[in-house]
């Protein structure tokens, strides 16, 4: 139910134990999350890294990981097989020698585990940049047909309220086409986690109150998105208050399908989205879960380097749910 998102996710995962790769095996937060996941039994966590280093990090942190699988990419029995499949997947863009070198990187190795079906998803970013997590996913797993690029959404939670903010992590200056794709994919993300999507395309203008190149791009994105998903409640361009507050929507956009009931907010640029979600988190008291990478053929998700162990745990559950 909407009131208890993670209770619903856990219910959906019961008896369907999904394998989630955690490449940052020596990070204390990741170790804490892996231990919690292992204890619950709904997700099988797999840590990557040198076995001795991972074990020493766990011992130093006082975390029991004896029942958790740890894989060292450099000594994995199927390393050569993965290297050959990587060369094949890169289709002339990497030699076998380059594959050997790249697969020593835990994010590349972990992504290949997902691509080859040895795992169901991957969560990284506690100690790596977004680029370090996303680049292997784009090169190996790639985007779904019809999706020009991946995007990053946050589920924003406060009390009973569940909102989706996108793109807050990936696309710096999205085109109208990309914004439309982000909107449609964000609606799919919302549905996957029990939210009935109502999408607002944000700007500094509401329904033509200002006419600039920037606002016209959002209006075009709305037109494209409505063609891509004609049954999706979606409109714009909106200032945030016109999308969120019914009384303001009634004044500024009286004829819109969105009447202050938007729960998916598509930002016009990465800087707006990233600033917006952090303001909602730090000043508004919302819990931000994500970013959830949208549009990929298999779930790979990115953490903030300022994340907590609880963030790792929750994103691992969300990733497992995406693979159902």
Beta strands in 62-212 (DSSP E): 69-71, 121-124, 151-158, 161-166, 199-202
The answer to whether residue 5 scores a pLDDT higher than 90 is no
- How confident is the model over 17-54, as pLDDT tens digits? 999 999 999 999 999 999 999 999 999 999 999 999 99
Considering only CA atoms, which of 29, 23, 40 is closest in space to residue 63? 29
CA distances from 27 to 49, 76, 132, 233, 256 (A): 10, 21, 16, 42, 48
Residue 79's pLDDT is 97
The answer to whether residue 1 scores a pLDDT higher than 70 is no
Work out the average pLDDT over 190-201.
Answer: 92
What is this structure's pTM? 0.86
201: confidence class by pLDDT, cuts 50, 70, 90: very high
The answer to whether residue 3 scores a pLDDT higher than 70 is no
Enter the tokens of residue 246: 């019914």
Work out the average pLDDT over 121-140.
Answer: 93
What's the gap between Cα 256 and its chain centre? 29
Q: What is the CATH number of domain 1-142+296-324?
A: 3.40.50.10950
Residue 304's pLDDT is 84
The full set of domain ranges for the chain reads: 1-142+296-324, 146-295
* 146-295 carries CATH number 3.40.50.10750: yes
- d(C-alpha 125, C-alpha 159), whole Å: 27
Q: Which residues of 160-184 are buried (b: 16+ CB within 10 A; e: fewer)?
A: eebbbbbbbbbbeebebebbbbbbb
Whole-number mean pLDDT of the chain?
Answer: 94
- How confident is the model over 203-246, as pLDDT tens digits? 999 999 999 999 999 999 999 999 999 999 999 999 999 999 99
Residue 289's pLDDT is 85
Contact between residue 314 and residue 291 where contact means Cβ atoms under 8 Å apart: no
Residue 2's pLDDT is 43
Q: Which residues of 279-297 are buried (b: 16+ CB within 10 A; e: fewer)?
A: ebbeeeebebbbbbbbbbe
Which residue matches tokens 């697969």? 103
Work out the average pLDDT over 64-71.
Answer: 95
Residue 8's pLDDT is 86
Q: Quick one: which H or E segment has residue 273?
A: helix 270-282
- d(C-alpha 262, C-alpha 206), whole Å: 14
199: confidence class by pLDDT, cuts 50, 70, 90: very high
Does 1-142+296-324 match 146-295 in CATH topology?
yes
CA distances from 67 to 28, 31, 156 (A): 17, 12, 33
Q: How is residue 118 annotated by DSSP? A: S
Contact between residue 185 and residue 147 where contact means Cβ atoms under 8 Å apart: yes
What's the gap between Cα 149 and its chain centre? 13
Q: How many CB atoms lie within 10 A of CB 63?
A: 18
Residue 273's pLDDT is 98
């Amino acid at each position: 139910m909407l009131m208890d998102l993670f209770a619903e996710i856990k219910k959906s995962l019961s008896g369907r134990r999904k394998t989630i790769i955690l490449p940052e095996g020596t990070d204390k937060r990741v170790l804490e999350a892996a231990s919690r996941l292992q204890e619950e039994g709904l997700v099988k966590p797999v840590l990557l890294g040198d076995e001795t280093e991972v074990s020493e990090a766990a011992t130093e942190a006082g975390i029991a990981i004896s029942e958790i699988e740890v894989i060292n990419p450099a000594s994995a029995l199927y390393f050569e097989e993965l290297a050959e499949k990587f060369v094949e997947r890169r289709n002339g863009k990497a030699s076998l020698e380059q594959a050997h070198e790249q697969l020593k990187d835990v994010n590349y190795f972990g992504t290949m585990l997902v691509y080859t079906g040895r795992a169901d998803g991957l969560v990284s970013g506690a100690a790596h940049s977004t680029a370090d997590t996303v680049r292997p996913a784009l090169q190996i797993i790639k985007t779904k047909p019809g999706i020009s690029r991946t995007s990053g959404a946050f589920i924003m939670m406060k009390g009973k309220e569940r909102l989706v903010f996108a793109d807050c992590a990936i696309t710096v200056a999205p085109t109208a086409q990309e914004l439309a794709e982000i909107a449609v994919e964000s609606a799919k993300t919302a549905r996957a986690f029990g939210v009935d999507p109502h999408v607002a395309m944000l700007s500094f203008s509401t329904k033509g109150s200002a006419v600039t190149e920037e606002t016209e791009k959002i209006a075009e994105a709305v037109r494209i998105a409505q063609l891509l998903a004609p049954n999706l409640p979606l409109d714009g361009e909106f200032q945030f208050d016109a999308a969120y507050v019914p009384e303001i929507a009634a004044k500024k956009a009286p004829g819109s399908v969105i009447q202050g009931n938007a729960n998916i907010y598509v930002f016009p640029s990465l800087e707006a989205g990233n600033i917006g979600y952090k303001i909602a988190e730090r000043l508004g008291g919302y819990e931000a879960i994500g970013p959830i990478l949208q549009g990929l053929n298999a779930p790979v998700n990115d953490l903030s380097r300022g994340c907590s162990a609880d963030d790792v745990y929750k994103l691992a559950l969300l990733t497992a749910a995406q693979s159902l």
